[in-house]
Structure 1
């Protein structure tokens, strides 16, 4: 139902973001082409995603947050795209397989961020002190806890929009 836009068919306000995406990836991903229907959503997601990339979480920890949201929300395109990112970051194959299967991770520190992400989602941010202490006990910081919230927000928007548009 949703249009998979090209630069020529997209709303004028989406074109700059689409062009930047093409420069970054070398092509226009179908998800971006569909999200272009809403310039505000597309621009907001791309800006938030870029900000999330600049957080103090290491790349594999960030992708653990993203994959946790993507699998929970059943966003197949997101799982595929972020599996590729994890491979690019040389993540362990067992970690990738466990993330895709929504199973405990063999890496204790990454499992801690996965569990914290799930707890934030399950409690709408109202995690108890014990859960927060367990997360912090794996070397994460209060700043990292807030960065997890940012990742959840960013990729909840993306996964829901991708599912809605059938990306």
Structure 2
């Protein structure tokens, strides 16, 4: 992977960011207690930063439960090879007390033992593979696990939000924050 000079995608601060990104950077730093490099680098485009923060916030408010949302996110993050997102959302699941086998299967892109969560993972992959034109059988399989048509659309929202994030993180070469080092992940299976 090529390495850009740090000046191409700098780690902005509220003082150095484009004026339209400053409020979002300050709010993110206040909420998290630090400013992740992934967000600091996205700030180079106020529209991307605001778009991601808005869409990811909307996704967090959907009717999908927390673990199902994280399944969507980690499925996208591993598929797109975004180590920052995989580490960050592994930490989220660990903090939520998620089953270690679930987390490991998601990180390894393997089927999940929990059939209901596997239905989410499989549906994400089917939406991506079919470019949204999911077949009747795939949709029925998702709905058969207690999900709703609304949930199917919410999965699309999550795919959009985290495709935006994973692609931006890879483009800007966002580094992994030190607190996330225990959750490091690499697409080839290296930690």
Query: Normalised by the shorter chain, which TM-score bucket?
Result: over 0.9
RMSD of aligned residue pairs (Cα, Å) = 0.6
Structure 1 residue 23 displacement after superposition? 1.4
TM-score between both structures, scaled by the size of structure 2: 0.86
Q: For residues 95-137 of structure 1, give each alpha carbon's deviation from its aligned partner in whole angstroms, at most 9, with x where no partner exists.
A: 0000000001111110000000000000010110000000000
1:67-86 to structure 2, matched below 5 A, reads 67-86=74-93
Runs of 4+ aligned structure 1 residues displaced above 6 Å come to none
Q: Contact 2:21–2:46 at 8 Å: present in 1 too?
A: yes
Give ranges in structure 1 of 5+ residues lacking alignment: none
Counterpart selection for 2:138 from 127, 131, 137: 131
Structure 1 residue 58 displacement after superposition? 0.2
Structure 1 residue 65 displacement after superposition? 0.2
Q: For residues 73-116 of structure 1, give each alpha carbon's deviation from its aligned partner in whole angstroms, at most 9, with x where no partner exists.
A: 00000000000111122211000000000001111110000000
Question: What is the alpha-carbon distance in structure 2 between the residues aligned to residue 136 and residue 90 of structure 1?
Answer: 26
Question: What is the alpha-carbon distance in structure 2 between the residues aligned to residue 139 and residue 23 of structure 1?
Answer: 37
Question: What is the alpha-carbon distance in structure 2 between the residues aligned to residue 59 and residue 152 of structure 1?
Answer: 15
Q: Does 1:166 align with 2:173?
A: yes
Structure 1 residue 8 displacement after superposition? 1.3
Higher helix share: 1
How many residue pairs match? The answer is 167
SS in structure 2 of the partner of residue 8 of structure 1:
coil
TM-score between both structures, scaled by the size of structure 1: 0.99
Match in the other structure for 1:39? 46
SS in structure 2 of the partner of residue 94 of structure 1:
helix
Question: What is the alpha-carbon distance in structure 1 between the residues aligned to residue 159 and residue 21 of structure 2?
Answer: 24
Question: What is the alpha-carbon distance in structure 1 between the residues aligned to residue 17 and residue 109 of structure 2?
Answer: 36
Q: Does 1:29 align with 2:36?
A: yes
Question: What is the alpha-carbon distance in structure 1 between the residues aligned to residue 169 and residue 86 of structure 2?
Answer: 11
Q: Contact 2:14–2:23 at 8 Å: present in 1 too?
A: no
Structure 1 residue 20 displacement after superposition? 0.9
Counterpart selection for 1:117 from 121, 124, 135: 124
Question: What is the alpha-carbon distance in structure 2 between the residues aligned to residue 47 and residue 114 of structure 1?
Answer: 23
Give ranges in structure 2 of 5+ residues lacking alignment: 1-7, 175-191
